[in-house]
């Protein structure tokens, strides 16, 4: 059974089947695209930590503001992707282990949390999208609630699995 938190058209986390050894199928969606196209098996203790950390940063509004307010989200993505300094690193987002290593993704705050991303590999389920930049906008507190709920489910189920 798959449990979905959020909406795939904006941002969603889907928790799937339990794997052996504290592993879990976790799919991330943003702007109607599944980000976890190459590897969606996560080690629950690690992904739980990454998810709670990201949710807390977003709730505290510790995501940087828009780096180039006069530019489109697509142009912002391209400028960040081309930058090789720590400036770009401040905008890295969703660094949740290898499940998202096929996607370059950045985030910034305007009135919403804005996630801009593109697939790195051309051999993914969306070959027509190679080189295309996607934009997801979601209220920061809604993002945090989605991520916290998904993380809590995995944490509770892992604890039950270990005690039962």
Residue 125, pLDDT score: 67
0.75 exceeded by pTM:
yes
pLDDT of residue 75: 97
Q: What are the E-state strand segments in 31-133? A: 33-34, 41-43, 103-109, 113-119
Domain, as residue range, for 31: 3-163
For residues 115 and 113, give the distance between their C-alpha atoms in angstroms, rounded to a whole number. 6
pLDDT tens for the chain, 164 residues long, are: 889 999 999 999 999 877 767 888 999 999 999 999 888 999 988 999 999 999 999 999 999 999 999 999 999 999 999 999 999 999 999 988 888 888 899 999 999 999 999 988 766 666 777 779 999 999 999 999 999 999 999 877 666 666 65
Q: Which candidate, 36, 11, 60, 42, places its Cα nearest to that of 153?
A: 42
Domain total in the chain: 1
* β pairing state of 23-30 and 103-109: unpaired
């Amino acid at each position: 059974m798959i449990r979905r938190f959020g909406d795939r058209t904006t941002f969603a986390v889907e928790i799937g089947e339990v794997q052996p050894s504290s592993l879990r199928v976790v799919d991330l969606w943003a702007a109607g695209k599944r980000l976890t196209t190459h590897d969606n098996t996560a080690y629950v203790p690690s992904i739980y930590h990454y998810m709670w950390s990201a949710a807390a940063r977003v709730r505290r509004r510790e995501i940087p503001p828009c780096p180039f307010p006069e530019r489109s989200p697509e142009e912002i993505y391209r400028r960040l992707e081309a930058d090789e300094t720590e400036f770009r690193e401040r905008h890295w987002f969703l660094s949740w282990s290898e499940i998202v290593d096929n996607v370059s993704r950045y985030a910034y705050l305007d009135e919403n949390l804005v996630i801009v991303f593109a697939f790195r590999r051309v051999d993914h389920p969306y070959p027509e999208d190679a080189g295309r930049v996607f934009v997801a906008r979601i209220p920061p507190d809604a993002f945090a609630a989605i991520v916290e709920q998904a993380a809590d489910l995995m944490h509770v189920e892992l604890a039950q699995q270990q005690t039962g």
